[in-house]
Amino acid sequence: MLTLQFLIFVAILLWIYFLWIRRRFYIMMLKVPGAMGLPFIGLAYEYIRLKRNIGSRTMFFKIFGQTGMTWIGLTPVLVTCEPRIVEDILMSPHCTNRSSVVDKAISSCLGSGLLTLKDTHWHERRKLFGPLFKNNAILSFVPILNNESNSLVDSLKGFVGQGEINLLPELNKWSFKIAAQITMGSDVKNKANYNNGNLMKNYKSLNELIPLGVVMPWLRNKFIGKLSGFERRRLEATSQANAFIKDIIDKKLGSRSSETSLEPALIDRILDLVRNGDLSYDDVMGEFSNIIFAASDTTSVTVNNVLSLLAMFPKVQDKVFEELAEVFPSVGGSELSHGDVEKLVYLDQVLQETLRLIPAVPLLIRQTSQEIRLSNGFQIPEGVTLMIDIFHTHQNTDVWGPKAGEFNPDNFLAVNKRNRHPYGYLPFSKGKKTCLGYKLSLISVKLALAKILRNYKLSTSFLYQDLEFVDNTTIKLAKQPKLKIERRT
Contact in structure between 77 and 69 (CB atoms under 8 Å): yes
Report whether pLDDT(222) > 60: yes
Class for the domain spanning 32-487: mainly alpha
> How remote is the C-alpha of 184 from its chain's centroid?
20
- Mean pLDDT within 130-152: 90
Of the CA atoms within 13 Å of residue 240, those in its CB half-sphere come to 19
Highest mean pLDDT of the ranges 216-225, 255-264, 416-425: 416-425
How far, in Å, CA of 457 to CA of 468, rounded? Answer: 24
Q: Beta strands 75-80 and 385-389: pairing type?
A: parallel
* Residue 258, pLDDT score: 44
* Residue 117, pLDDT score: 86
Report whether pLDDT(313) > 90: yes
- Mean pLDDT within 435-456: 93
* Residue 333, pLDDT score: 58
How far, in Å, CA of 315 to CA of 204, rounded? Answer: 34
Q: pLDDT grade, residue 263 (50/70/90)?
A: low
Between 178-182, 311-315, 409-413, the lowest mean confidence (pLDDT) is in 178-182
Domain ranges of the chain: 32-487
Alpha-carbon distances of 4 from 1, 12, 13, 15, 18, rounded to whole Å: 5, 12, 14, 16, 21
Q: What is the pLDDT of residues 451-488, one digit of tens each?
A: 999 999 999 999 999 999 998 888 999 999 999 999 98
Alpha-carbon distances of 403 from 107, 298, 463, 465, rounded to whole Å: 39, 26, 17, 13
Q: What are phi and psi of 426, to 5 degrees?
A: -150, 65
307 or 273, which is more confident = 307
- Mean pLDDT within 287-294: 85
Calculate ∠ Cα 263-269-273, nearest 5°: 160
Between 156-170, 249-263, 432-446, the lowest mean confidence (pLDDT) is in 249-263
Q: What is the pLDDT of residues 63-93, one digit of tens each?
A: 999 999 998 878 899 999 999 999 999 999 9
Strand partners, 76: 71
What mean pLDDT, rounded, does the chain reach? 89
How far, in Å, CA of 150 to CA of 155, rounded? Answer: 9
* Residue 355, pLDDT score: 98
CA nearest to 97, candidates 372, 291, 440: 372
Between 192-206, 259-273, 345-359, the lowest mean confidence (pLDDT) is in 259-273
Report whether pLDDT(261) > 60: no
Contact in structure between 49 and 58 (CB atoms under 8 Å): no
Contact in structure between 114 and 279 (CB atoms under 8 Å): no
134 or 463, which is more confident = 463
- Mean pLDDT within 385-406: 96
- For the chain, the distance separating the N- and C-terminal CA atoms, rounded to the nearest angstrom, is 88
Write the burial class of residue 256 (CB in 10 Å: 0-12 exposed, 13-18 middle, 19+ buried). exposed
Q: What sign for the dihedral angle of Cα 341, 342, 348, 352?
A: positive
Q: pLDDT grade, residue 331 (50/70/90)?
A: low
Report whether pLDDT(42) > 80: no
Report whether pLDDT(102) > 80: yes
Q: pLDDT grade, residue 37 (50/70/90)?
A: confident
Q: What sign for the dihedral angle of Cα 61, 106, 112, 445?
A: negative
